[in-house]
Amino acid sequence: MSAGRREVPLVEVRGIGVRFGGLQALDEVSFAVGQGEFVSVIGPNGAGKSTLFNVISGVQRPTSGEVLFDGEPVRRSRPDLVHARGVGRTFQVARPIGSLTVRDNVLLGAGGHRLRGVLSSLRPRSRDRALQLRVDELLELAGLTAVAHRPASEISPGDLRRMEIARALGDEPRLVLLDEPAAGVGSDGLTPLAELLGRIRERGVAVLLVEHYVGLALSLSDRAVVLNRGRLLAVGDPDEIRGNQAVIDAYLGTKRSRADGGVQQSTGSEHEG
């Protein structure tokens, strides 16, 4: 960045509030994600992490505040419009099409608007070939080549999570929102997942990661956003977050080490590890 020129963040969350009846699920939450930045969103159960993802991806209309992409406000909360601006996401509960192969599940993600735009100048046969190569590349990226032809219903939870991420990457997103990708993967699945997340980082795709395995999340992140009861408790680099007393009191203070070296919070949401 040249001196005096302020780079516009990829995404800016400005004063977001979400109210469900009498419950303030998010309250005046503001932070930004830069191009290619890896940011974790951590906090105890019910802190508002998924609600925040729903706002950013256009599923949930905020009660107050706004989200900006490339400095421009998103005027209508519509997932299709947000997706078209380059936002992919995975969900807390995986959503595979179990009867389709892993390859076809990933292919579904690669058929979207943005990638079609990139390939539109090609003849149909070349386009199809380019799409298939893109799927091959995503399968390799996610360590799924060996299970590519198996039905999604038959693969391990760890493979399933990485398949969902590969699918979310299919339409050339500039930002992916990953909601608890380590949930249920088991200790065997953590290393391939961490490798995939590291590769996404290297490709310059920005990541917002909600993860209860805080050790894993912080080890990959440029910065972390900590939520507690809908409010922003802290934003900082991993070392600042680990040393922040308010974060330790509200969240990290309950940590327990796991045999795999990760840290998962004992806050009532126990995922199989």
Taking contact as CB under 6 A, which single stretch among the options 49-57, 94-102, 155-163, 248-256 is the one that binds ligand ATP? 49-57
Q: In what order do the strands lie in the sheet with 11-20?
A: 23-33, 11-20, 64-69, 72-73
Question: Any idea how long the chain is?
Answer: 273
* Residues 11-40 interacting with ligand ATP (rule: CB under 6 A): 20, 23, 25
Q: Are strands 175-179 and 87-89 parallel, antiparallel or unpaired?
A: parallel
Interface with ligand ATP includes 46 (CB under 6 A)? yes
Interface with ligand ATP includes 48 (CB under 6 A)? yes
The strand pairing partners of 227, in sequence order, are 232
Q: What is the CA radius of gyration of the chain?
A: 19
Interface with ligand ATP includes 269 (CB under 6 A)? yes
Which CB atom, from 20 or from 204, has the smaller least distance to ligand ATP?
20
Place of tokens 């050790």: 215
Interface with ligand ATP includes 264 (CB under 6 A)? no
Using the rule CB under 6 A, which residue among 29, 42, 47, 141 binds ligand ATP?
A: 47
Q: What is the nearest approach in angstroms of ligand ATP to the Cβ of residue 156?
A: 23
DSSP conformational letter for 145:
G
Interface with ligand ATP includes 83 (CB under 6 A)? no
Place of tokens 């699945």: 189
Helices (H), 85-151: 102-109, 113-119, 124-141
Using the rule CB under 6 A, which residue among 31, 49, 107, 181 binds ligand ATP?
A: 49
Residues forming the site for ligand ATP (CB under 6 A) = 20, 23, 25, 43, 45-51, 269
